[in-house]
Amino acid sequence: MQTLLVTRPHEAVLEITLNRPAKKNAINSEMWAELGEVLRHARDDRSLRVLVLGGAGGAFCSGADLSGTNLANTDTLSRMRSINEVALLLHNLPKPTIAKVSGIAAGAGCNMALGCDIIIASTSARFSEIFVRRGLSVDFGGSFLLPRLIGMHKAKELALTGEIIDAATASELGLVNRVVEDEELDRVVAEMAERLAGGPPIAMGLTKALLNESLGRTMEEALEAEAMSQTINGRTADSREAINAFLEKRAPHFVGE
């Protein structure tokens, strides 16, 4: 990997660090390709239970690298569709994802963080739907994610102004799960990742899918999807292990089967 640092801090946890610190981890075409490759591997790796996404050098991601780009002279639609594939890989990953955000998270970088299941931000974190300041509209799922996270009117305010907000404001709006001091960020994220890694992978993947799809369903459709998911869970070794552990008054050990 030329633009990413990929590590396994725990046998069940994969950490991806965007690694172009001189550019505040702006995403170029090589990084888009490498992100897609790593996310496909994460999707298919049964030993992996949690993915952590962060940035090097005190920034999360300043967005797409537009240096030297002339959108009028490129196949923008084809390029955007390849970027969309990365957004969908992250959104549909059947495992919990954590965004570890310090410094700037702007544009596609902001929406990459919002596309994770849990966002833990340091007090230095700043978020911006900066697209409009570049003469662009939101992408990387921002039009889908923002209204669902903070409501339509607040979503429009952030997207139409491109305002940069600090971590405290992001927390008040409901954009992030938790704000911690900069020096505590690594520890808090590691603890959350380890906690999630100890959960039942099949049940957690089904739960994530149910929640992702919930706003597009009627109550009847949601109940049917829940019933189908519970039918799958009931046939797993992990479900039997959870019941036995409860009866035996011990912690369960989930294996993902």
Q: What is the per-residue pLDDT across 107-118, written as a single tens digit (0 to 9) for each?
A: 999 999 999 999
pLDDT tens figures, 127-165:
999 999 999 999 999 999 999 999 999 999 999 999 999
How far apart, in whole angstroms, are the C-alpha atoms of residue 103 and residue 182? 10
Confidence of residue 185 (pLDDT cuts 50, 70, 90): very high
And the tokens for 127? 């978020």
Under a CB-based contact definition with an 8 Å cutoff, are residues 56 and 21 in contact?
yes
Backbone angles phi, psi at 179, to 5 degrees: -120, 130
Predicted local confidence at residue 75, as pLDDT? 80
Q: Are 181 and 123 in contact (CB under 8 A)?
A: yes
Tokens linked to 98: 């954590």
Mean pLDDT of 35-49: 96
| pLDDT tens per residue, range 201-230 | 999 999 999 999 999 999 999 999 999 999
In angstroms, the CA 117 to CA 33 distance is: 22
Please enumerate in sequence order all residues whose Cβ is within 8 A of that of 6, keeping only pairs 6 or more positions apart, or say none: 14, 15, 16, 17, 38
Asked if 53 and 116 touch (Cβ cutoff 8 Å), the reply is: yes
The C-alpha angle 225, 229, 231, rounded to 5 degrees, equals 120
Cβ 100 vs Cβ 125: under 8 Å: no
Band of the pLDDT at 69, cuts 50, 70, 90? Answer: low
Dihedral angle sign, alpha carbons of residues 175, 180, 181, 183: negative
pLDDT confidence bin for 67, thresholds 50/70/90:
confident
| Cα–Cα distance measured from residue 32 to residue 71, given in angstroms and rounded to the nearest whole number | 17
Token reading at 7: 């590590």
The sheet with strand 104-106 has its strands ordered as 104-106, 126-128, 164-166
- DSSP, collapsed to helix, strand or coil, labels residue 5 as strand
Q: Residue 71 above 80 pLDDT?
A: no
Tell me: domain 4-197, CATH 3.90.226.10, correct? yes
Considering only 43-47, 63-67, 147-151, 248-252, which range has the smallest mean pLDDT? 63-67
Evaluate if residue 68 carries a pLDDT over 70. Answer: no
